[in-house]
Amino acid sequence: MSPAAKIRIEDILNRVERYLPEMDEALLRQAYVFAANRHQGQVRRSGEAYLVHPLSVAWILAEMELDEIAIAAGLLHDILEDTDTTQEEMEIEFGPAVTRVVVALTKISSYESSYSSREATEAENFRRLLFASTDDVRVILVKLADRLHNMRTLKYLDHERQVAIARETLEIYAPIANRLGIGSIKTELEDLCFRALHPREVQRLERAIEERAQVAEKWFAEIKGVLEGILTEHGLSGEIQGRVKHLYSIWQKLRRQGVDVESVFDFLAFRIVVDTVAECYATLGLIHQKWPPVPGRIKDFIAIPKPNAYRSLHTTVIGPEGHPFEIQIRTRDMHTIAEHGIAAHWSYKEQGSRPAEDSRMAWLSSLLDTTQGSSPREFLDSLRVDLYPDEVYCFTPRGDVFSFPRGATVLDFAYRVHTEVGHRCVGATVNGRWVPLRTQLKNGDIVQISTSPQQSPHHDWLGVAATGRTRSKIRAWLKREEKSRAIDVGRKLLERELRRSGWSMKRLADSDELGGILTSHGLAKLEDLLAAVGFGRMAAAVVTEQLTPTAETLEEPALPATDRRPAPGAETPVLEVTGDSDFLVYVAKCCNPLPGEEIVGYVTRGKGVAVHSRSCPNVQRLLYHPEREIEVRWAASAMEGRVGRSRVDLDMKYQDRSGLLAAVSHAISSEGSNILSCSLQTHDGGAGTVAMSIEVRDAAHLNRIVQKLEAVDGMLHVERRGFVTRAVP
């Protein structure tokens, strides 16, 4: 019967009689008449008589094959809340069992509540309802049926109410139906919520499915034929269902993979229902012989049932033309349990069995136990934690709750609190214990983030963050920061260049020529020009050439660089900043690191990144500002010796000895190096010093030269100027 059809009491009685031939028909008729009388004159938002609602709820319960108490309670569930019927009256009419269920479903008004806020009162009502459910599972089953019918008729409410109810249903009622194993209600609730919350996405998905309906039909017939053939050939009988998966699950899957509907197998799936467990496994084996399974996608929920008692075999196989598709294999009993869950077990057959002993209810009992005495809000938070096993819920010390995907770290938490908190985060305490940023969050953790105004995001935070949301915030910061540093660098370079040609930054900014320069480089504003120069994408001289194309300036020879290295931003870069940065880098004069040497980058104020040797004494001091350290590496061109030689200053100490200088000069030339300058001093007592500048290719080259110099007879010390002294053994 379609949900929209009008339910009559006769339909319900007929339906119940089919699975419960000895039902108490009188009780159901009496409940119906009573409800009809008491709701007389009440009208739903849809304009229908109110009675349609309790009848529909009773029908849903009959579809779940529940007993007369549950169905009578369904017919009467709004009597205490919406009419002036009293509890005593109900007990006289229907006895204690039905009354208890209806009382549990009746909300106390905020004026009876011990809490002042509406929100807290609602949470408290909900806790009472769940508590009653652990004694009598019919309470939550009637509630789910009630919510299902309300969701089916949601469109009659105003938009705001629709969204609020759909959200609550998706967050709490659908997951509860799932925990109780009631697949039929869970999927219908999810789809109804999806429609209310994302109407456009629903439309898009439906259109995509509709467009592929013919192809889907063809595939379905073809695959069904193959499956039937396999079963018949091996003497198995099974029912093969091809089905369109429910919309919400398709949408979640596509969103998880970040794709859109491509093939029919994105929404088509197969289910085979056989007679025995042995046949389930046999069928699985036969299918895998026909189509290869996708590794890691075979799930045996028969050997290891889900916590909600769901059992089935799942596999994904590579089907015709390489399209993967899903097949579920189960017995008829397993199918009933998958659809009706706890309702299938807790039914007229097993009346009196304690629901708390059922694993599907046990989690709820223990949750209610552990949250005893907590506030309604804490209770709802804990409930959410239990309802979503794939998510991690953590708390701020103030009790605010945030949800994260499993694997999220303390850094993700910091960024969730606030973007600024993330940027300044130095660490955190979790449950009172100090932990580093990469610590993974666990359910129920209480996280307190520590911040420092000196802190700022690092490149390696990108590896610490587990959520895309955090990573994009870090990336945005790094980009912004790099740009502002580049602008400073560009400003310095351009100012110097401008001064040489008699210009100034101010004059440039005010000049008519600026617009033309910007346009010719495809830039929008002066800031972009400075950034382009700072990032080394453009030479500052290009700007001045465009400003003053006079013969005088053109003929003026370029000043020789004091440094023999290629200028920053020149065509063959020697150094690169690790990561996606295109920062301006230069080697620090204090230590002149050589290609191959261990190096470290330091972001200066306004000059780009200075690259020091890791053993440069200045580095230790500079790195008191660790936030300004940046990872750098030698460019491949430098490592292959494709860039020019570097100048290295050496200081040597020696014992007075004739012929020393000749020996030193021989050591250097034998390694293919040149002496650029040399000054020698002999002191009283015979000892002397040599200060010498030589040319080297890279660190290895220098090492060989130093070794040769150290081997010169009479040499006491060889030291690279500015570096830690090394004594000659």
**Which of the residues are catalytic?**
81-82
Least distance (Å) between residue 372 CB and Mn ion: 28
Q: Which two tokens stand for residue 611?
A: 């690259």
Stretch that binds Mn ion, among 71-79, 249-257, 621-629, 691-699 (CB under 5 A): 71-79
Q: Dihedral of the CA atoms 304, 309, 310, 314 (nearest 10)?
A: 0
Q: Does 482 bind Mn ion (CB under 5 A)?
A: no
Least distance (Å) between residue 8 CB and Mn ion: 19
Least distance (Å) between residue 76 CB and Mn ion: 10
The residue (of 85 and 409) whose beta carbon lies closer to Mn ion is 85
Among 450, 459, 452, CA closest to 410: 450
Say how far apart CA 330 and CA 306 lie, in whole Å. 14
Among 67, 54, 78, CA closest to 23: 67
The residue (of 80 and 174) whose beta carbon lies closer to Mn ion is 80
Give me the residue whose beta carbon is nearest to Mn ion: 146
Least distance (Å) between residue 57 CB and Mn ion: 6
Q: How far is CA 44 from CA 52, 75, 82, 155, in A?
A: 9, 15, 12, 12
Q: Computed over its alpha carbons, how large is the radius of gyration of the chain?
A: 39
# of chain residues touching Mn ion (CB under 5 A): 2
The residue (of 164 and 700) whose beta carbon lies closer to Mn ion is 164
The residue (of 52 and 282) whose beta carbon lies closer to Mn ion is 52
Angle at 130 between CA 125 and CA 132, to 5 degrees: 95
Among 142, 145, 131, CA closest to 101: 142
Q: Does 35 bind Mn ion (CB under 5 A)?
A: no
The residue (of 144 and 367) whose beta carbon lies closer to Mn ion is 144
Binding string to Mn ion for residues 487 to 516, with x set by CB under 5 A, is what? ------------------------------
The residue (of 78 and 381) whose beta carbon lies closer to Mn ion is 78
Least distance (Å) between residue 53 CB and Mn ion: 6
DSSP labels, 371-402: TTTS-HHHHHHHHHHHH-TTEEEEE-TT--EE
Among 463, 458, 394, CA closest to 428: 394
Least distance (Å) between residue 31 CB and Mn ion: 14
3-state SS record for 676-724 = EEEEEEECCCCEEEEEEEEEECCHHHHHHHHHHHHCCCCEEEEEECCCC
Q: Does 140 bind Mn ion (CB under 5 A)?
A: no
- The answer to whether the beta carbons of residues 413 and 394 sit under 8 Å apart is yes
- Give SS3 for 315: strand
Listed in sequence order, the residues at least 6 apart from 196 whose beta carbon sits closer than 8 Å to its beta carbon are 151, 154, 162, 163, 165, 166
Q: Which two tokens stand for residue 194?
A: 């999806």
Say how far apart CA 283 and CA 88 lie, in whole Å. 57
Say how far apart CA 195 and CA 249 lie, in whole Å. 13
β-partners of residue 575 are: 634
Q: Does 142 bind Mn ion (CB under 5 A)?
A: no
Least distance (Å) between residue 36 CB and Mn ion: 15
- Residues across the chain: 729
Stretch that binds Mn ion, among 73-81, 123-131, 314-322, 336-344 (CB under 5 A): 73-81
Least distance (Å) between residue 2 CB and Mn ion: 20
Least distance (Å) between residue 92 CB and Mn ion: 23
The residue (of 78 and 671) whose beta carbon lies closer to Mn ion is 78
The residue (of 82 and 631) whose beta carbon lies closer to Mn ion is 82
Stretch that binds Mn ion, among 142-150, 239-247, 689-697, 705-713 (CB under 5 A): 142-150
Least distance (Å) between residue 231 CB and Mn ion: 45
Q: Letter for the amino acid at 423?
A: H
The residue (of 64 and 538) whose beta carbon lies closer to Mn ion is 64
Say how far apart CA 258 and CA 503 lie, in whole Å. 53
Binding string to Mn ion for residues 74 to 113, with x set by CB under 5 A, is what? ----x-----------------------------------
Say how far apart CA 177 and CA 667 lie, in whole Å. 84
The residue (of 146 and 597) whose beta carbon lies closer to Mn ion is 146
Q: Which two tokens stand for residue 576?
A: 């690169």
Say how far apart CA 637 and CA 641 lie, in whole Å. 6
Q: Does 146 bind Mn ion (CB under 5 A)?
A: yes
- The answer to whether the beta carbons of residues 169 and 161 sit under 8 Å apart is no
H or E segment at 226? helix 213-233
The residue (of 75 and 517) whose beta carbon lies closer to Mn ion is 75
β-partners of residue 313 are: 300, 329
Among 665, 659, 671, 657, CA closest to 702: 671
Say how far apart CA 533 and CA 537 lie, in whole Å. 6
Among 98, 30, 32, 103, CA closest to 67: 98
Residue ranges binding Mn ion (CB under 5 A):
78, 146
